[in-house]
């Protein structure tokens, strides 16, 4: 399903939104993260998939590969650490703390009794646990019933205490808030709610690093980006990216299309009603990182005017997109993209299969499409089951492809 957002605008980036999230704050976050051992140095790759572009009928496809952002395997390594740093700076404003030294563990003894907590579908919790471990504070993560044992183990490996509930993601958010109140802990969540906006803002601001690297990388491509497909969830990633693009490009910003599971369609429903809304389905999805039932009201303040189209895809569409990226072809390298990471390509494939929908979204042979593969094989067993090959196997073929290309141009 695809709908046009009649509330989208192409005016310059509004000052009231710039006061919340800005390119300047995104660049500050990027600087703070640059020396953290939890992420790898340099930018993540921006790959051109010319063979896939030809097959689908668009001019160019660019894929930003966030699976290699850090050993965490996803873009969430950018949000939680920045939110944690900014929270500590607000709580200890007069202690002269160095943000970069904080993530390097310079103040570990100072924060040994400080506890942060969050609900998660996996990747955000892993990012927060890793950041807390680096800073020296305690971390509690609340997991709902559908988070796999594999993802739980990956979070626990960073020293987090795990709390399991029987409900869904939204109920895990409620439980995290309850535990925080009872124990005087601090919630570090990527979704906002009434009276809770500062930390989700900081999480979203951290994602600006991705947009900054894309702006730098696309400046070297043969044509400017015309369309960007963004994963849904609660809206945080999309808001962090589109706000940066909107401020940078103004009226020339790329057309933005949000993709989410049909059973976790909270942003789609928000676009229909014009206000932050809830999903209409069961929420459970193979796209675990997008299995969210309620839109972040703060994120919606950015999305309502900057996203041009909202669409939903089926779980099997995402699995097919994972397989397409993993396979590669003679001109395109194989890419490891997890269930949520491949959602953008799933959306593009569905639109290009229907000429009417493609025309509605303005997609044709002249379009340059940007996709963000937000995660790799963060649940390796699930990935292998869905793709039919392990993530390590795909990476081995990717290395062979890159080695052949390097020898060809040597």
Q: Which of 26, 3, 2 is nearest to 13 (CA)?
A: 26
Collapsed DSSP state (helix, strand, coil) of residue 401: helix
Contacting residues for 156 by C-beta, under 8 A, at least 6 apart: 129, 162
The residues that bridge with 310 in the sheet, in sequence order, are 3, 258
266, 234 contact by CB (below 8 A): yes
How many Å apart are CA 265 and CA 293, to the nearest integer?
A: 7
Distance of CA 406 to the CA centre of its chain: 30
Q: Which of 175, 142, 132, 140 is nearest to 160 (CA)?
A: 140
Structure tokens at 183: 């124990």
- Tell me the residue ranges of DSSP E strands in 321-404: 368-373
The residue with tokens 């993260």 is 33
How many Å apart are CA 235 and CA 301, to the nearest integer?
A: 10
Is 317 among the residues known to form the active site? no
Catalytic residue among 25, 64, 65, 121: 121
Is 121 among the residues known to form the active site? yes
How many Å apart are CA 134 and CA 132, to the nearest integer?
A: 5
Catalytic residue among 25, 64, 76, 126: 76
Q: How many separate helices (H) and strands (E) can be counted in the chain?
A: 18, 11
How many Å apart are CA 372 and CA 237, to the nearest integer?
A: 10
Which residue numbers are catalytic? 76, 121
């Amino acid at each position: 399903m695809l709908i046009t957002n009649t509330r989208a605008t192409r005016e310059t980036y509004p000052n009231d939104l710039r006061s919340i999230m800005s390119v300047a704050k995104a660049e500050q976050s990027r600087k703070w993260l640059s020396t953290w051992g939890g992420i790898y140095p340099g930018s993540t790759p921006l790959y051109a998939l010319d063979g896939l572009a030809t097959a689908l009928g668009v001019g160019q496809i660019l894929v930003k590969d966030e699976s290699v952002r850090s050993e965490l395997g996803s873009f969430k390594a950018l949000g939680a650490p920045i939110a944690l740093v900014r929270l500590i700076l607000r709580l200890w404003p007069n202690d002269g703390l160095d943000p970069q030294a904080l993530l390097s563990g310079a103040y570990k003894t100072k924060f040994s009794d400080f506890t942060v907590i969050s609900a998660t579908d996996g990747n955000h919790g892993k990012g927060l646990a890793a950041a807390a471990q680096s800073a020296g504070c305690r971390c509690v993560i609340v997991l709902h019933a559908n988070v796999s044992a594999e993802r739980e183990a990956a979070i626990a490996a960073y020293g987090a205490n795990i709390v399991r509930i029987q409900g869904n993601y939204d109920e895990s958010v409620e439980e995290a808030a309850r535990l925080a109140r009872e124990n005087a802990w601090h919630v570090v969540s990527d979704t906002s709610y009434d009276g809770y906006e500062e930390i989700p803002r900081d999480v979203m601001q951290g994602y600006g690093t991705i947009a900054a690297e894309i702006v730098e990388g696309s400046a070297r491509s043969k044509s400017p980006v015309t369309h960007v497909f963004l994963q849904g969830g609660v809206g945080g990633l999309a808001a962090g990216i589109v706000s940066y693009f909107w401020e940078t490009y103004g009226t020339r910003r790329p057309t933005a299309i949000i993709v989410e599971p049909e059973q976790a369609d909270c942003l789609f429903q928000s676009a229909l009603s014009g206000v932050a809304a809830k999903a209409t389905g069961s929420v459970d999805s193979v796209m675990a990182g997008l299995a969210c039932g309620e839109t972040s009201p703060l994120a919606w303040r950015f999305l309502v005017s900057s996203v041009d189209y909202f669409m939903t895809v089926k779980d099997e569409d995402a699995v097919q997109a994972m397989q397409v990226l993993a396979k590669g072809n003679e001109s395109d390298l194989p890419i490891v993209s997890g269930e949520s990471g491949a959602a953008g390509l799933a959306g593009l494939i569905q639109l290009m299969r229907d000429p009417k929908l493609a025309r509605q979204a303005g997609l044709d042979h002249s379009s340059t499409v940007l996709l963000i593969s937000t995660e790799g094989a963060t649940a390796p067993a699930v990935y292998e089951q869905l793709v039919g090959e392990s993530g390590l196997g795909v990476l081995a073929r990717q290395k062979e492809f890159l080695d052949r290309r390097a020898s060809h141009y040597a």
